[in-house]
Amino acid sequence: VTRTVTELKLRGILDSRARVTVEAELTINGTHTGLGSAPRAIAPGRLERRRGPDVTLGSVESPALRQAFCGHDINGQRDCDALLDEIGSVGEAGADLTLAVSLAYARAVAASQAKPLYRYLSGLLNGLMDTVPKLPGLMVNVFSGGIHLDGPTAGFQQVMVLPATGTLIDDIRLASDVFAAAQRMTEQRFGQVGLSASSGLLVPLDSVGQLELAASAIVAAGGSTACTLGVDVAAEHLAAGPGRYRFGSQELDSTAFARRLAEFATRYPLSYIEDPFDPADIAGWRQLRSMVTMAISLVGDDLFATDAERIDADLADGVLLKLSQAGTVTATLRAAAAARSAGMLIAVSHRSGETEDTAMCDLAAAVGADLIKVGGPRRGDRLAKYNQLLRLAEHVDGWRSPDPSMTELKGTP
């Protein structure tokens, strides 16, 4: 089948922080149209592909994209993304524009094949990796800190709860209960608290206080046997010079910071640590790995920046996949395949500034990701993702139906 791009529209739209990001609308053969948009981080990692120049709301012009796509036959995601890479590499489009177009093309083709997006994406994995679509486990942001907190605090960017009841529906229920318990407990102490960009609670507590409270909230929600905790240290943003980190009121060298993290791993039910060190602090990564048990996954976000070439199983146990870091669907799938062939865990992630796009959920299902993080269960930009996962649960094979013995969602206080 020939797939001629008959129309490509680009526009500036609002993200969840009311910053402007881009959306693409692409039509093939005049019949099938797909939408795609790019999220926007508060502060992208050093190794990430760059966003393009700021765009304004409404129609956006990109002569290079128009010329390469409009009226041309583009016969597969790989061709589409190779073209986008080329345009990106000569500086004609940033990773935000290329991602938006790549996702819009994927959705247009999936629609023309009457396939849900996850099925289409899983078809693209042929020859790249062997996988059966499955739903990921959740990592739910409870407390935010670091640069996600308004104001200068040197702490973890996210404290998350990882429910593991065995079904998505019960996981969502339990995580929502833990979140509600954490909110109730913090509001009893501090009065009303705000929400961060990722819909985590913004509390006047340091990281230790947050871990304590999250552990208590798990108990209060009756989740002690089914929940662990995870943190995104986002250490790149804590770095105070090579191999030095600001943490609370202290400045620690790499070894002292590794010891601190390893100590947390013994005091709290931690199962996941993301970006414990700066990407340049290779010694730090190796050191922590030798200090913590196998029960804890060390995962690279800013470390690998969703780049297949950077992925290295000697440094971490897992890879965080962010479509906006890779810049195209194909580059993201390549990173997933590289992670799997290295025997590493795969986690898929949202960004701090999100749109209503839910492609990351389909991506997670298609690559059979182990984990996904889409923020706290508050506000539409994050709920869109939880709700897409619920829809996917009806499709994806191998996902058990809910256990009726689990209690009903208790709801927010």
Sites of contact with ligand 2PG (CB under 6 A): 41-42, 157-158, 198, 232, 234, 301, 349-352
Nearest approach in angstroms of CB 15 to ligand 2PG is 11
Query: Looking at this protein, which amino acid is placed at residue 261?
Result: L
Rounded distance between C-alpha atoms, residue 158 and residue 171, angstroms: 19
Nearest approach in angstroms of CB 371 to ligand 2PG is 12
In the list Mg ion, ligand 2PG, none, the entry touching 41 (Cβ below 5 to 8 angstroms by class) is ligand 2PG
Nearer to Mg ion, 98 or 157 (CB): 157
Q: What are phi and psi of 113, to 5 degrees?
A: -100, 5
Nearer to ligand 2PG, 111 or 203 (CB): 203
Nearer to Mg ion, 87 or 299 (CB): 299
Nearest approach in angstroms of CB 153 to Mg ion is 16
DSSP state string for 109-138: HHHHTT--HHHHHHHHTTTT------PPEE
Rounded distance between C-alpha atoms, residue 329 and residue 77, angstroms: 8
DSSP state string for 254-282: HHHHHHHHHHHHHHS-EEEEE--S-TT-H
Nearer to ligand 2PG, 97 or 305 (CB): 305
Nearer to ligand 2PG, 27 or 352 (CB): 352
Q: How many C-beta atoms lie closer than 10 Å to residue 304's C-beta?
A: 29
Nearer to ligand 2PG, 42 or 82 (CB): 42
Structure-token pair, residue 187:
């509001």
Nearer to Mg ion, 180 or 363 (CB): 363
| CB 319 within 8 Å of CB 326 | no
Structure-token pair, residue 211:
């871990």
Nearest approach in angstroms of CB 174 to ligand 2PG is 20
In the list Mg ion, ligand 2PG, none, the entry touching 16 (Cβ below 5 to 8 angstroms by class) is none
Nearer to Mg ion, 83 or 305 (CB): 305
Nearest approach in angstroms of CB 389 to ligand 2PG is 16
Tokens 């194909």 found at: 330
Q: Which residues of the chain form contacts with Mg ion (CB under 5 A)?
A: 232, 301
Nearest approach in angstroms of CB 237 to ligand 2PG is 9
In the list Mg ion, ligand 2PG, none, the entry touching 350 (Cβ below 5 to 8 angstroms by class) is ligand 2PG
Number of residues in the chain: 413
> Which of 223, 224, 100 has its CA nearest to residue 173?
223
> Which of 279, 220, 300, 288 has its CA nearest to residue 255?
288
Query: Looking at this protein, which amino acid is placed at residue 336?
Result: A
Nearest approach in angstroms of CB 275 to Mg ion is 5
Nearer to ligand 2PG, 165 or 349 (CB): 349
Q: What distance separates the 2 farthest-apart alpha carbons in the chain?
A: 63
Nearer to Mg ion, 157 or 165 (CB): 157
In the list Mg ion, ligand 2PG, none, the entry touching 352 (Cβ below 5 to 8 angstroms by class) is ligand 2PG
Nearest approach in angstroms of CB 89 to ligand 2PG is 23
Contacts with 398 (C-beta within 8 Å, 6 or more apart), sequence order: 132, 133, 134
Nearest approach in angstroms of CB 385 to ligand 2PG is 12
In the list ligand 2PG, Mg ion, none, the entry touching 122 (Cβ below 5 to 8 angstroms by class) is none
Contacts with 112 (C-beta within 8 Å, 6 or more apart), sequence order: 3, 28, 29, 31, 32
Query: Looking at this protein, which amino acid is placed at residue 316?
Result: A
Beta strands in 156-294 (DSSP E): 158-163, 194-195, 201-202, 227-232, 244-247, 250-253, 270-274
Rounded distance between C-alpha atoms, residue 117 and residue 108, angstroms: 10
Nearest approach in angstroms of CB 306 to Mg ion is 11
